[in-house]
Amino acid sequence: MGGARAGRPPAFFGCQAASNASNKAGSVDQSWRSPGIYRSAGVDDAALASAHRQALVVLPFAVDDPTDAAAQTLARRITADLISDLSRTPTIRVISGRTSQLYGGRPVDVAAVGAELGVHYVVEGSVRKAASRIYVNVALTDAKTRLQSWSARFDRDLSERFSVQDEIVKGIARVLHVAVIIEEGRQRRGDAHPVGRLLAKGWAAIFRANENGGPGEAKAYFEEALRIHPEHPSALTGLAAHHILSLVFEVVGDRRAIIGRAEELLTRALQQQPRSSSAHYFLGLARKVSGDPEAALKSFAKAIELNPSHAAAYANAGHMLVRLGRPDEGLDHIRYAIRLSPKDPTLASWQVFGGEAEITRGNDDAAIEWLTHAITLSPRRLFARALLGAAYMLKGDSGAAAQQVAEWRKLAPGITNESLISTLGGLKKLSPRVVRGLRQALGYSS
């Protein structure tokens, strides 16, 4: 995937590239080829050409009895674990669980889902719990023909939930002609019920951070979970995520101390689960907000290595590539993240990354397109408004630039110009062109 042409808006805005991609028998959808982060780690084109990489979405598993809370929890866990395991399969690209959740609880047309998300296959399933037994039905459907490619029914003891999931993964992999499945049979341990509930609430708050303007009550949930289980890796990662996101969404005091605390928590989590893509991802965010893009890029690359469908890691890796003077490659990663999770809750952030990349590349019209969409999704995003003001100023539209600056001053009247730039960007990390636009928009002479 190449970068956008000069003056051309991002390809995913108002287009149907996903559904229009060639899907002739035997062809490879090149839009699902993930970009490489490091030039030294080249892509084997011959291997990619022979690997028929397929994209799919796992819809939230349904339950027969909507009043059965235990069955609903089980269905959510099976859905999430299935997405996680399938994402480790080299020739499969899985739509983010955050996007697939939007289709839960309502009837859907698999063809419409396939066209909307640009996927070839749709996985659907249902879960029923009766006493100590679990009954799981699952089907893999070709979204274009609406024909089932594979289906199975499982009747197991409740303690065998993970073996059922493993059978589902293997069945889908066979149908898609996957040669190698990475990390099959990963060991898992069930959480005690109180900790599990706290973790669910904590991570829900983390996922709603963009919507709520911060991680909110996540900290309390993760701290309570750690009081029960002091070294629980998911709780350690979640608490670190809270600290990092508080820096992303708020102008706080001792940033260095907060980053240090987050890194210490993530180190403990990784000591127990060194192959946790989530922990590596949040370590990347910690390094990002500390102003170390090279170290952040390495962490995001590790998260992608462990989970090839980690959309947010692709987006943030792209942002770091932009900051390292490689905006064309950065846009490849940002676009690919949106391809994986086109309705992601953090989509507004990724659009800001795209806007910064286009300003860096000198494509102010394209940058305005990205940033306008970001603000439509998240009107209180300060840096998006500042960047949009910069893009307008660089384009020569000082009136539109002044309007954006006025809007962010209303949203954050106590934040100085320098605090905005240094906290959310860092003058020494932003490209000279972005810095010039920001300074001009904020009233500096240069």
Q: Residue 138 in 3-state DSSP?
A: strand
CATH class given for the domain over 53-175:
alpha beta
Element spanning 155, H or E: strand 148-157
Q: Residue 140 in 3-state DSSP?
A: strand
77: pLDDT strictly greater than 60: yes
Average pLDDT, the chain: 78
Band (pLDDT 50/70/90 cuts) for residue 48 is very low
195: pLDDT strictly greater than 80: yes
**Got the DSSP string for 82-133?**
HHHHHTTSTTEEE--HHHHGGGTTS---HHHHHHHHT-SEEEEEEEEEETTE
Percent of the chain having pLDDT more than 70?
76
**Is the overall model pTM greater than 0.95, yes or no?**
no
Residue 79 contacts by C-beta under 8 Å, 6 or more apart in sequence?
Answer: 58, 59, 60, 61, 97, 100, 125
According to the model, what pLDDT value does residue 222 have? Answer: 95
Architecture of domain 346-446: Alpha Horseshoe (1.25)
Its sign, for the CA torsion 340, 342, 347, 352, is positive
Q: Residue 327 in 3-state DSSP?
A: helix
Does the domain at 189-273 match CATH 1.10.287? Answer given as no
Is residue 297 within 8 A of residue 433, CB to CB? The reply is no
Residue 20 contacts by C-beta under 8 Å, 6 or more apart in sequence?
Answer: none
Q: Answer with the residue of higher pLDDT: 11 or 426.
A: 426
Q: Answer with the residue of higher pLDDT: 149 or 376.
A: 376
For the chain, the structural domain boundaries read: 53-175, 189-273, 346-446
102: pLDDT strictly greater than 70: yes
According to the model, what pLDDT value does residue 149 have? Answer: 75
Asked whether this chain's domains 189-273 and 346-446 adopt the same fold, the reply is yes
Is residue 88 within 8 A of residue 308, CB to CB? The reply is yes
Q: Answer with the residue of higher pLDDT: 237 or 207.
A: 237
7: pLDDT strictly greater than 50: no
